[in-house]
Structure 1
Amino acid sequence: MRLLNDVRRLDRRLTRQAASWESAWARRALPAVESAAEGTKLWWGMAGLMAATAGRSGRKAAAAGVLSMLTAQLLANAVGKQISDRRRPPEQLIPHGDVEDRPDTSSLPSGHTAAAVGFAAAVTASSPAWGVAAAVPAVMVALERVHSGAHYPSDVAVGTTIGLASACLINRAPRLLLRGLLP
């Protein structure tokens, strides 16, 4: 119980610090990236660009990214948020006015982060260069979720874990299936 209380205190302290980060760049760039990632538009767009311009390896990376993103979303939103009923960070921890437009679903886990990390990690396994291009906005989405007051850092950490697990599953599934089908 003490460990859980320590994590809660750390979560609150880190949330307050992240939300207090005053940077003109952060105030403009983070919400713009989050808006692009809303409804997974950014990841679908990136997958389309990869598939259209990067040949067979781009199509493979795009397919892996999309499948991982969808798996991560399913795990985070349809399973994770049903298991947990964690409230969003309280408004008094957030010193700016961006807290009015927060979802009323469970805070744990961050579905935006799970989808972003799932996409970027799966793409990276197939195409490191595209993976770096996807990782930059994925990290920005994770930062924005805490900066905006939508999530605690631990929500983002769990979303990251779900995204990484989804990418691992998607990238290993074909080999595992083939191993089971072939003598």
Structure 2
Amino acid sequence: MRIRGLTVTFGEKRVLDGFSLDLPDQGVTALSGPSGCGKTTLLRVLAGLQRPEAGRVEGLKPEEAVLLFQENRLFPWRTVEQHLTDVAALSGGMARRLALVRALALGAQGCRWLLLDEPFTGVDQRRAEGLMEAVRGLRVPVLLCAHESHTLSLADRVVPLEGPPLRRREGEGP
């Protein structure tokens, strides 16, 4: 995937300003950066949920991606089975795992990219490792945003970022 010159503003705040990045079409790439630097906005553009003012994305159509939101976006009055069939009162970690499993189920139906926003927040290390095995089992490229060093260690490559506007951290990365 090639991201070229993306620009997104919200009022006076420029979150992406001509942002460009090349991503391999295999493995797991992690975007690492502080909260509010623009990582989620980038994922929303890639998923077709945010229209950029400028720039383009090559090698990915929004309908070819599955996005796991940073929030679980589950209905508390539904059971786990109901969430999975029409995708509960769950702990934060359980809700996060359910949201990820729902995204993986959608991903298994022919998506070309998985876009995961903080996929293992509230999930213990052992379960995160097991979930990453399931993610890799889909054999589609993955772009994830993460803060936790353990999650970053599960990725094949890490792109260190800062912002806003979103940019590569000085002196780091290829």
Tell me the TM-score normalised to structure 1 length: 0.28
TM-score with structure 2 setting the length: 0.29
Specify which structure has the higher proportion of helix: 1
